[in-house]
Structure 1
Amino acid sequence: MKKASILMIIGPLFLLGLYVLPLWNIMLGAPQYPEPLGMNIFIDGIKGVNEFDIQNIDGLNHYIGMRTLPKPEDMWEFSAFPIIIGVMVALGVLIGLLGFLGKVSYKWFLGWFVLMSILGVLGMYDFNAWMVDYGTNLDPNAIMKLTNEDGTPVSYKPPLFGHVKMLNFDVTSLPSTGAWLMFTGMMLTVVAFFIGKKAWQPKGGTHPAKPIKVKANDK
């Protein structure tokens, strides 16, 4: 159980990488840009891959009526996510320490993983909802107004995961280093659960005694 608890302590610590490394990356490539434009999405804001990428992306977006990319103060998520990650790291380490001291069972390890997974799914849902609004809620007075064949406005929503062709741009959206660190840390807690389950012995002793077989002719 102690080996499992150590893994449970280490796993959540991987999430600390999210404070310095990007969670997601979106790249935009086009013939007129020999070096693609890109933005790294952190838990507390958005930064350009290169020095002037954010300015160039905002300049392109202006022509088609998209809003400028949000600053940290423009979205509550950029204030809430660092707090949520900090709480989950502290909670995971605490569960690991309690497991090491024999105060909680291995089931708590899985509980942390499930809670973190739910928060991750909610975060992805929120991120996708923001991209839908960002790519479809366009300025009606934009310089360029492009429509589909049926007359509806063109959507400029970036993909949540993968690649899409958007006008003459190839847009790719993929998890970045921080997301992979988070995934690794979460998988360590799953490993800790299974190791802990194998090693777990309930309080009060050992496994129950095996029943004694008695032959029918024994008196």
Structure 2
Amino acid sequence: MRTAKWAVKGIVDDFTECDCCGRRRLKRTVALMPLDAEGSEDGTAEDVVYYGTSCAATVLGWTQGKVAAAASAAQADRDQRDDYARRTISIYAPVEFAPVRDRARVYYGRNPGHRATGVKASEEVARLLAEARATLADTTTGPPRPARVEDFHRYVIIFASDRRIHLVRRVPGDKERRLEQATAARRRAERRSRPRRRLRRRPHPRVEQQGMAGRSRLTPPHWSTLPAPASAGSRGSRRIARRHRP
């Protein structure tokens, strides 16, 4: 009889009954996927069995501590992939049905190296969203997780007049933060809507407006005294009156 081989997929809290010995009301079980002769996973989520840690250690030939450590590591990897899938959905789901130029702007903005490689942004966005939703729909270690962006991220899409996406902004989950965000947006809108006051330029105190012709002339002091040049001889100490004329 061939010894069954298994791959540890994670720790499950939703299944509290051991599929090996039938024990019930367990705090947790270990999800095991059967492997074929080559060591590859042989089956789907429906073929996964859920054993208690003692039964899992028996079929794997490990200690219970090693089984628990492997299950925890597998579950941490699963949680990390779920987080990446949710992040992917939160980025690309708002522009999934947007015009091609908006999808290209978002995708190439996050992957600038793909712009000159011939990769089509619309196809890549569809592929990434499909993979992310498949990851969250996997029931190997529990029920399917929410796969819609509105289930875990509220967002607002602002369109331009030509139906182009102008801005995608996330809405905070906390009520107080939402109120703060709304108040700040209202203040910005009020500042933009206020009429700008035109500043009146005051004429320079030394500039006078002349008659109806609208001319202006600089009015310096009528009389100023300047020292005579040194070559003036005996008159060097004498001050010369000089009149400025326009």
TM-score with structure 2 setting the length: 0.26
Higher radius of gyration, 1 or 2:
2
Greater relative contact order, per chain length (Cα 8 Å cut-off, separation 6+):
1
> TM (normalized to structure 1)?
0.29
Greater share of residues in helix: 1
